[in-house]
Amino acid sequence: MRQNVLDCDTVLLDDENSALVIIDQTKLPGCIEMLSLTGLEETWEAIRLLKVRGAPAIGVAAAIGVYLAVKGAETGSMEEFKKEFQRAKGYLASSRPTALNLFWALDRMEAVVLHNMEQKVYQVKALLRQEALRIRQEDIEVCRSIGEHGLALVKPGSGLLTHCNAGKLAAIKYGTATAPMYLGMERGYGFRIYVDETRPLLQGARLTAFELQEAGMDVTLICDNMAGMVMKKGLVDAVFVGCDRVASNGDTANKIGTSVVAAVAKYYGIPFYVCAPTATIDMSLQSGEEIPIEERGADEITEMWYEKRMAPEGVKAYNPCFDVTDHGLIDGIITEFGVARAPYKESLGRIFDSKTRNQ
């Protein structure tokens, strides 16, 4: 029988083989292939080439990857061990620039080393393993909470639209933008879900449509340029998207095209919600202007998904991977601690205060 993608782990630690196990997302939906990565370069490449992708999944993969990179370190000196750890950390941090979760997870792992310099190397290795698994487990709980807060904002039978893949495949379970949909499914909400295909890499078509359909939801795939039409027809009651980095003023970087969806939703008076684990919120940035935006190769636009090239040889192509949605277009930022509303500097500040109190 064909395997259901929801039964496969997006990112997993295989202790026995000292491997990071991921679903190769570049092969979906045609083929479910698990990859077992044992080298740091392989992990870097898997993140860079989007074999593992989506902000939370990248963070978990980096945490496990950096642990595995130093698991076999032969030194007995904590100073040497720290240097080796920091080399691996710096290397993984160079794989992609936008998703804060990558840096957040690596910083959490580094804090374990820095706060335990008086311990033996083997003890710190065990603590690193524990921290990587904790980051993974926390993602499940965080996404579920986001799902509860998101679900409270919509009624049964609603039409929901999402862009890119902020689903289980971008996280460990539930996803962020899809968490209200999964919880709604569990509770018989009967949502109608519209999924933007998400040019140029089709994360919506290949991943979101796939996983939500596998979950048994009522899913309709649309091209990116159809969102306005679907909204105008009254088929969409709310938009839920994920994010890669949120600035302290609420400006949000997410997959390219998100800001267009937000602007059109505003025009039609449809609430637009960003689902953001606090691990994705960068309180050090004043606005979205400071968010580093990844640019990828032109071939992703001109030829990657076509049997033959679809653009003239030599044509210039611009391929920013993310755009920034202005906070003024966002009706709420749904975190694991509740929904932040404008003015975001204050509301996100309060959310970080309660996070500190909970730690």
Q: How far is the CB of 13 from ligand MRU (least distance, A)?
A: 20
Q: Is 259 in the site for ligand MRU (CB under 6 A)?
A: no
Query: What tokens appear for 29 in the block?
Result: 């939906």
Instruction: Count Cβ atoms below 10 Å from residue 323 Cβ, excluding itself.
Output: 18
Q: Give residues 137-166 in contact with ligand MRU (rule: CB under 6 A).
A: 164, 166
Q: How far is the CB of 28 from ligand MRU (least distance, A)?
A: 12
Backbone φ and ψ of 201, nearest 5°:
-100, 5
CA distance 203 to 192: 19
Stretch that binds ligand MRU, among 62-70, 118-126, 241-249, 306-314 (CB under 6 A): 241-249
CA distance 340 to 347: 5
Cβ nearer to ligand MRU, comparing 55 with 121: 55
The amino acid at 89: K
Among 203, 248, 259, 335, binds ligand MRU (CB under 6 A): 203
User: Residue 244 catalytic?
Assistant: yes
Backbone φ and ψ of 289, nearest 5°:
-60, -25
Would you mind telling me the total number of residues written for the chain in this entry?
359
Instruction: Count Cβ atoms below 10 Å from residue 143 Cβ, excluding itself.
Output: 28
Cβ-proximal residues to 50 (8 Å cutoff; 6+ apart), any chain: 25, 26, 201
Among 59, 150, 159, 175, binds ligand MRU (CB under 6 A): 175
Contact track, ligand MRU, 36-55, x by CB under 6 A: --------------x--xxx
Q: How far is the CB of 244 from ligand MRU (least distance, A)?
A: 5
- Map tokens 């919120």 to a residue: 281
Q: How far is the CB of 324 from ligand MRU (least distance, A)?
A: 12
Q: Which residues of 95-112 are buried (b: 16+ CB within 10 A; e: fewer)?
A: bbbbbbbbbbbbebbbeb
Q: How far is the CB of 277 from ligand MRU (least distance, A)?
A: 8
Q: Is 95 in the site for ligand MRU (CB under 6 A)?
A: no
Helix residue spans in the chain (DSSP H) = 40-48, 55-71, 78-93, 100-114, 121-151, 179-186, 203, 209-214, 227-232, 258-267, 299-302, 344-358
- Do the beta carbons of residue 294 and residue 97 sit within 8 Å? yes
Among 147, 159, 242, 250, binds ligand MRU (CB under 6 A): 242
Stretch that binds ligand MRU, among 186-194, 217-225, 237-245, 310-318 (CB under 6 A): 237-245
Cβ nearer to ligand MRU, comparing 88 with 274: 274
Nearest Cα residue to 294 out of 197, 156, 170, 200 = 200
Query: Closest residue to ligand MRU, Cβ-based?
Result: 242
Q: How far is the CB of 180 from ligand MRU (least distance, A)?
A: 13
- Given the residues 244, 251, 323, 331, the one annotated as active site: 244
CA distance 144 to 326: 26
Among 106, 121, 243, 270, binds ligand MRU (CB under 6 A): 243
| Residues forming the active site | 244
Binding interface with ligand MRU (CB under 6 A):
50, 53-56, 99, 164, 166, 170-171, 175-176, 203, 242-244, 254-255, 321
